[in-house]
Amino acid sequence: MTFHAVALPERLLIARRGTAYLSQRIAELTDAEFDDATLLHGWTRRHLIAHTAYNALALCRLLDWAVTGEETPMYASPEQRNREIAEGATLNAGALRNLFAHSCARLDEKWRNLPSTAWRETVRTAQGRQVPAKETVWMRSREVWIHAVDLDSGGQFGDCPAPVLDSLLIDIVGTWRTRGDGAELVLAVDGREPIAVDDTAAATTTITGTLPAVVRWAAGRGAIGIHSEGSQPDVVPTPPRWL
């Protein structure tokens, strides 16, 4: 079952569980470990924690938009977003912990107090998509569950709820199809019907594994537990870019 197929209260619960999961990964780090690298090229844990904090505040702006009707974008510009993360990464560890906790609490408060009609109001994501305000729950769920892994401190895709993994795989394959990438790929999740990225193309490579393993690989986070079949058996290719 995908994330969007479950009722909104359960979606909110999944987002809150993801926040708690990421919070625990951060809490287990020493202040000195904030300087270590993450799975995201060029980002330390400082950058990642700052990003997840400011992402929560950006989603708060979309919820304000839904309530008031006054356009309040997530970010003024991509440059402003990048500058915010870079500056946030310079904060000391204590300040970063507080920023993260405060921003998460603020977003949760917005969700709890959002009028029922506002969930259906249209807002615009940083990528320019027009979506209902309830999409912020998926946007945040995806953010916290994936970045708990990116923190490289024990987080695993296997800990993600199945609805998150199912929706991530749909999102990733959908992005590849839109861009015309990965036409040669078939994704074979154990126990499921294989997914051909392009039904009209001759597939040359089949990627096989559990749902968490296939999603991890497809999201560009490594090929742990993946088996590749095709023209180069057991040579696992690099997946097409997702984001």
> What pLDDT sits at residue 191?
86
For residues 10 and 46, give the distance between their C-alpha atoms in angstroms, rounded to a whole number.
Answer: 30
Contact 99, 53 (CB under 8 A): yes
End-to-end CA distance of the chain: 23
> What pLDDT sits at residue 231?
64
Length of the chain: 243
Contact 163, 2 (CB under 8 A): yes
For residues 54 and 58, give the distance between their C-alpha atoms in angstroms, rounded to a whole number.
Answer: 6
Beta bridge partners of 188: 208
Q: Closest Cα to residue 14, out of 205, 168, 163, 201? A: 163
> What pLDDT sits at residue 243?
84
Name the pLDDT band for 201 (thresholds 50, 70, 90): confident
Give, in degrees to the nearest 5, the angle at Cα 44 between 60 and 151.
70
Burial class (CB in 10 A: 0-12, 13-18, 19+), 238: exposed
179-204 average pLDDT score? 91
pLDDT at 232 over 70: no
98-123 average pLDDT score? 98
In this structure, what token pair is assigned to residue 191?
Answer: 């126990």
Residues 9-20: pLDDT tens digits? Answer: 999 999 999 999
Name the pLDDT band for 168 (thresholds 50, 70, 90): very high
Provide the pairing of β-strand 130-132 with 185-189.
unpaired
Q: Which residues, at least 6 apart from 68, have a Cβ–Cβ distance to it below 8 Å? A: none
For residues 76 and 108, give the distance between their C-alpha atoms in angstroms, rounded to a whole number.
Answer: 23
Burial code (b: 16+ CB inside 10 Å, e: under 16) for 109-122 equals ebbeebeeebbebe
Q: What is the pTM of this model?
A: 0.94
Residues 74-87: pLDDT tens digits? Answer: 998 999 999 999 99
210 phi, psi to nearest 5 deg: -70, 165
Percent of the chain topping pLDDT 90? 91
115-138 average pLDDT score? 96
Percent of the chain topping pLDDT 70? 98
> What pLDDT sits at residue 147?
98
pLDDT at 234 over 90: no
> What pLDDT sits at residue 235?
80
Q: Closest Cα to residue 90, out of 147, 49, 38? A: 49
Q: For residue 197, how far is the Cα from the chain centroid?
A: 21
For residues 160 and 17, give the distance between their C-alpha atoms in angstroms, rounded to a whole number.
Answer: 9
pLDDT at 67 over 80: yes
For residues 131 and 153, give the distance between their C-alpha atoms in angstroms, rounded to a whole number.
Answer: 33
Element (H, E) at 205: strand 205-209
Provide the pairing of β-strand 227-230 with 205-209.
antiparallel
For residues 195 and 193, give the distance between their C-alpha atoms in angstroms, rounded to a whole number.
Answer: 7
Residues 10-58: pLDDT tens digits? Answer: 999 999 999 999 999 999 999 999 999 999 999 999 999 999 999 999 9
pLDDT at 100 over 80: yes
